Homo-oligomer: A and B are copies of this chain.
Amino acid sequence: MDVEEEIDLAIITVNALIVPKVLEECGKKGIKNVVIISSGFSETGSLEGKKAEEKIKEIAKTYGIRIIGPNTIGIFNSENGLDATFFLEKDVRKPSKGNVSLFSQSGTVGILSLDILTKEAIGIAKLVSYGNAADINESDLIEYFSQDEKTKVIAGFIESVRNGKKFLEVLKKNKKPIVLLKGGKTSFGARATSSHTSSLAGDYKVYSNIFKQFNVIEAETWDDLIDYLKILSIGKKANGKRLAIVTNAGGFGVLASDFAYKIGLELPEPSEKLKEELKKYLPFYASVRNPIDITADADVERYKNVLKVVDESKEFDLLLVIVLIQTPMLDEKLFEVLNEIKKPFAVCMSGKQSR
């Protein structure tokens, strides 16, 4: 076999005490890229740990090595099949190729995100768990992903930011949708953060303001992060904030209305003309205000007619369809109807599980 390219990535998993020696060997062999999975550095809070981390920084500088880690679960690249995480495929589902790239200060948040995104059928471009960020940090990764052509959506779990100036710079330059989940928002979380990845969580209000200023979508919880990625990876961009909700489940329409208000969307009532148009397809007890409640006895035909009217209307920019699929009137044919929607839309559907 002819080796045309030199392989220059090393994954180090040995005991922390031996890492400097191995890193030096890498340097001597001309390996420029190293992932250090080993724990036992500054995150321990011990003097030895901090010294060891300083030492690997020094060695890296001497030999011009770029480091991811230490204290990570590794990296993953769906494009070239590189899986340098220490999780087996039988334990963690690995995603197919996709346009979402993820960086995570926490290895477990990173690896479980891969698992859940796969379950939710969302493809991934790259995952980087960057741990203590002795060298490459969150700002470097945002910069990289904002230029990486396989990445259309950037997502990150951060506990802290090492270089505030660069963080602002890369967020300013970035043109791609970016979702961040911040750990360590409270005094409890900040203490946990300092033991976890040896980082200062910082004042959450500062983060919150930066996120707003630079159009960062802030995920409140990990579940929210996954949901945002679901939408961003497949969704179209809406041209405005005017939401229409169409549902056969009135109560969930109410809850979704409250949520739309909370996140700053508009929920305009249809014009009289549009209401008349909608009424043609609805029983008298349905509601043509917004949410448009087509009631629990709606069949696929009713969904089809109402969705067509709403989709073609210029009174709305985006569309949320909430479906209680369990009613005896609905079946799989509804999916064909949903597939025909042209506006940016999301579907929230109850699961129907055969026993």
Interface residues of A (CB under 8 A from B): 16, 39-41, 43-46, 49, 73, 86-88, 90-93, 104-112, 115, 119, 157, 159, 181, 183-189, 191-193, 195-197, 221-223, 248-255, 257-258, 260-262, 267, 269, 283-285, 287, 289-291, 293, 295-297, 324, 326-328, 350-355
Contact = CB atoms under 8 A, between A and B. Distances in A.
Nearest to A328: B88
Nearest to A204: B258
Given A108-B250, A188-B260, A196-B293, 12 more contacts: A40-B284, A49-B285, A73-B296, A87-B326, A90-B355, A104-B251, A108-B248, A112-B252, A159-B251, A192-B291, A193-B254, A195-B287
Contact of A106 (B93, B119, B254): B254
A283 B71 CA distance: 14
30 contacts: A40-B284, A41-B285, A43-B285, A44-B285, A86-B328, A87-B328, A91-B327, A104-B251, A107-B250, A107-B251, A108-B250, A109-B249, A109-B255, A110-B251, A111-B324, A111-B326, A112-B326, A119-B353, A181-B255, A184-B258, A186-B258, A186-B261, A189-B257, A191-B267, A192-B253, A192-B257, A195-B289, A195-B293, A196-B293, A197-B250
Contacts of A92: 326
A355 B118 CA distance: 11
Nearest to A248: B108
B328 A285 contact: no
Contacts of A262: 186
A262 B186 CA distance: 8
B40 A285 contact: yes
A272 B284 CA distance: 70
Contacts of A284: 40, 44, 46
Contacts of A328: 86-88, 91
Contacts of A40: 283-285
A255 B285 contact: no
A206 to B, nearest CB: 16
